[in-house]
């Protein structure tokens, strides 16, 4: 079961005579797909470096990597869901939920706490996926509902206050305490996950199946793939990666609250995935490029400040970035009706 065969198969089911037109249509997208995110990051980085030279000399790269680490993990999870053609609006709420669960269990059960947290949030993600795939509900509606439930769950288990991770904090300290090549370990964890996901999508049966679902779900279904389970898997991965992001939040801040660090990760996460070359129509994702997507998104506020935009405008800038990024990168050739 080679990747090539899988990619061709679904595409040829509905439009068999499409073979000739394809290379011409694909070419510019491939170019963007491979170097676009890196080029965008480089351009923005150069802009910041010219306008604010102090950014380079004052350890700006390390600060950037700290901020990009959580965004990267959320974006990787979001990308997995976008890869099968759905969207997960609940994954930022999962980050908060995971952070609060971890903060409360870290004292009592120590090293087992991160494992328990990851298991819980992976299960939450899987339930999301299960309902989307087998209930056949639009994913934005379902995850909007889960978002509400998770927000309430976070409020209830934290008693609507800030929860501090008091004991066993040293377990997570190395994530931001140690540096490798000048960047904190947490960022490298994200990069490692990205490379792992790239290999997963490229070389495993499940990864290729997810690609097939994203490119043409009907085709994948007719090819006998278990499309529903691939969706469950994508959402479970999104939950798992959001859980890892929750661990980073605790490692970084030592505390979590429903309105604290991480509560506004939804949009940066989606933006990073899209700037990283992920197509919201599904099937086209390069996790390694999402690293640059996350770095770009983390750099946006710094860049915006450098050109004189107030920090209050941050969400305004993110909102415009996401609209512009989708509008510029969306392939429109095959979308007849857009809802």
Partner 1 sequence: MTDKDTGTGLLEQAPAPSQPPLRAGRRFEFKNLGEVLALVGLIAVFTALNPATFLTPENLRTILDHASLPLIIGVGATLVILTGSIDLSVEGVMGAAGMTFVLMTANSRGSADLGPWAIVAALAVGVGLGMLSGLVHTRLKVPSFIVTLGVWFVGLGIATVLFGDQSIPFLPDGGIKAWPSTLTFGVPNAFLLAAAFVLAGMFVARFTRLGRFAYAIGDSEEISKGNGIPVLRYKLYVFVVAGFCSAAAGVLAALELGAGSATVGVGTLFLTIAAVVIGGTSLGGGKGGILRTAVGVLMLTALNNGLILSGVSPNIQSAVSGTVLIAAVLVATWPHRSRLRIVK
In the range 149-188, which residues lie near partner 1 by CB under 8 A? 149, 151-153, 155-156, 160
318: number of Cβ within 10 Å: 20
Listed in sequence order, the residues at least 6 apart from 41 whose beta carbon sits closer than 8 Å to its beta carbon are: 292, 293, 295, 296, 299
> Of 255 and 267, which has the nearer Cβ to partner 1?
267
- The span from the CA of 315 to the CA of 301, in Å, is 9
Going by C-alpha positions, the residue among 58, 18, 38 that lies closest to residue 293 is 38
Closest CB 137 distance from partner 1, rounded Å: 5
Kindly state the smallest distance separating residue 80's Cβ from partner 1, in Å. Answer: 15
Asked whether 209 and 223 are in contact (CB, 8 A), the reply is no
CB of 19 to partner 1, least distance (A): 23
Detail the DSSP E strand segments found in the chain. Answer: 163-164, 179-180, 183-184, 255-256
Among 69-77, 94-102, 293-301, 306-314, the segment contacting partner 1 (CB under 8 A): 306-314
Among all chains, which residue has been given the structure tokens 């679902």? 213
Task: Write out the binding residues for partner 1, residues 307-326 only, by CB under 8 A.
Answer: 310, 312-320, 322-323, 326
DSSP, residue by residue, 63-106:
HHHHHHHHHHHHHHHHHHHHHTT---TTHHHHHHHHHHHHHHHH
List 60, 85, 239, 301, residue binding partner 1 (CB under 8 A): 85
Burial degree of 128 (CB within 10 A; 0-12, 13-18, 19+): buried
Residues 187-226 that bind partner 1 (CB under 8 A): 217-218, 221
Minimal distance in Å, beta carbon 179 to partner 1?
32
Q: What are 180's strand-pairing partners? A: 183
Chain position carrying tokens 């073979």 = 19
Using CA atoms, how far apart are residues 335 and 280, in angstroms rounded to an integer?
Answer: 12
Cβ of residue 195: shortest distance to partner 1, in angstroms?
27
Q: Which is nearer to partner 1, 107 or 145 (CB)?
A: 145
Interacting residue with partner 1 among 107, 145, 169, 254 (CB under 8 A): 145
**Interface region with partner 1, contact rule CB under 8 A, candidates 36-44, 70-78, 100-108, 132-140:** 132-140
Q: Distance of CA 153 to CAs 68, 99, 110, 238, 323, Å?
A: 27, 12, 22, 19, 31
Q: Which of 142, 175, 201, 275 binds partner 1 (CB under 8 A)?
A: 142
Nearer to partner 1, 94 or 189 (CB): 94
State phi, psi for 295 to the nearest 5 degrees. -60, -40
Interface with partner 1 by CB under 8 A: which range of 8-16, 31-39, 86-94, 96-104? 86-94
Binding mask 253-292 for partner 1 (x = CB under 8 A): --------------x--x---------x-x----------
Residues 3-62 that bind partner 1 (CB under 8 A): none
Residues that bind partner 1 (CB under 8 A): 85-87, 89, 131-132, 135-142, 144-149, 151-153, 155-156, 160, 217-218, 221, 267, 270, 280, 282, 310, 312-320, 322-323, 326-327, 330, 332, 335-339
């Amino acid at each position: 079961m080679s990747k090539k065969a899988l990619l061709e198969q679904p595409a040829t089911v509905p439009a068999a005579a499409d073979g000739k037109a394809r290379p011409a249509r694909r070419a510019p997208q491939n170019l963007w797909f491979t170097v676009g995110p890196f080029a965008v990051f480089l351009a923005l980085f150069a802009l910041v470096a010219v306008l604010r030279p102090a950014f380079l000399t004052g350890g700006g790269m390390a600060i950037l990597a700290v901020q990009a680490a959580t965004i990267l993990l959320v974006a990787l999870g979001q990308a997995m869901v976008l890869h099968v053609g759905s969207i997960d609006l609940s994954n930022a709420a999962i980050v908060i939920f995971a952070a609060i669960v971890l903060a409360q269990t870290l004292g009592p059960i120590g090293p087992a706490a991160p494992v328990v947290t990851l298991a819980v949030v992976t299960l939450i993600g899987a339930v999301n996926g299960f309902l989307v795939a087998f209930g056949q509900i639009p994913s934005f509606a379902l995850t909007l509902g889960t978002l509400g439930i998770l927000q309430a769950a976070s409020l209830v288990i934290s008693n609507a206050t800030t929860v501090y991770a008091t004991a066993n904090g040293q377990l997570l300290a190395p994530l931001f305490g140690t540096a490798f090549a000048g960047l904190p370990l947490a960022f490298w964890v994200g990069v490692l996950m990205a490379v792992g996901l790239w290999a997963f999508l490229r070389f495993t049966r499940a990864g290729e199946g997810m690609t097939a679902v994203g490119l043409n779900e009907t085709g994948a279904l007719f090819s006998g793939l278990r499309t529903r389970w691939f969706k469950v898997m994508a959402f479970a991965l999104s939950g798992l990666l959001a859980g890892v992001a929750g661990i980073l939040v605790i490692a970084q801040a030592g505390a979590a609250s429903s309105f604290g660090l991480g509560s506004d990760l939804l949009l940066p996460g989606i933006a990073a995935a899209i700037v990283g070359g992920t197509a919201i129509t599904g099937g086209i994702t390069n996790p390694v490029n999402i690293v640059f997507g996350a770095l770009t998104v983390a750099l946006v506020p710094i860049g915006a400040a450098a050109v004189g935009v107030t920090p209050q405008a941050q969400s305004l800038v993110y909102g415009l970035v996401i609209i512009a990024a989708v509008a510029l990168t969306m392939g429109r050739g095959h979308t007849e009706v857009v809802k």
